[in-house]
Amino acid sequence: GAVVSQHPSRVICKSGTSVKIECRSLDFQATTMFWYRQFPKKSLMLMATSNEGSKATYEQGVEKDKFLINHASLTLSTLTVTSAHPEDSSFYICSAKPTTGGGDTEAFFGQGTRLTVV
């Protein structure tokens, strides 16, 4: 099956610094990638939809300047958490939707990144 690699799996950073999370589709091309955030024991929250070669579409309430998304190629999207604060500590998950297959193609998920801001 299709593989999505997310890196790093865990990261601890100091408050005020920036952290970059990578999402790669390893054996397929993905025009569209999704970024989610999940708080412990709560639902998965869609943060933004990333489209290759264009600006990401952010969900209501998600700060664009805080969570920078770059989808520069058909196999890579990055999420940068800028000036991180302890409240940004969370579990971030990406998913990638294969370019081929039409509108009903399902997306494949990365392993997730556990971000802890101290």
Task: Tell me the one-letter amino acid at 23.
Answer: C
In 3D, which of 85, 106, 84, 88 has the Cα closest to residue 96?
A: 106
Does residue 105 touch other proteins according to CB under 8 A?
yes
Instruction: Single out the segment in contact with other proteins by CB under 8 A; choices: 16-24, 60-68, 78-86, 91-99.
Output: 91-99
Q: What is the distance between the alpha carbons of residues 116 and 78, in angstroms, rounded to a whole number?
A: 18
**Strands across the sheet containing 67-73:** 4-7, 19-25, 76-81, 67-73
- Which of 8, 9, 16, 72 binds other proteins (CB under 8 A)? It is 9
Binding mask 42-81 for other proteins (x = CB under 8 A): xxx-x-----------------------------------
Instruction: Single out the segment in contact with other proteins by CB under 8 A; choices: 13-21, 65-73, 80-88, 106-114.
Output: 106-114
- Contact positions vs other proteins (CB under 8 A): 1, 9-10, 34, 36, 38, 40-44, 46, 91, 93, 95, 103-107, 109, 111-112, 114
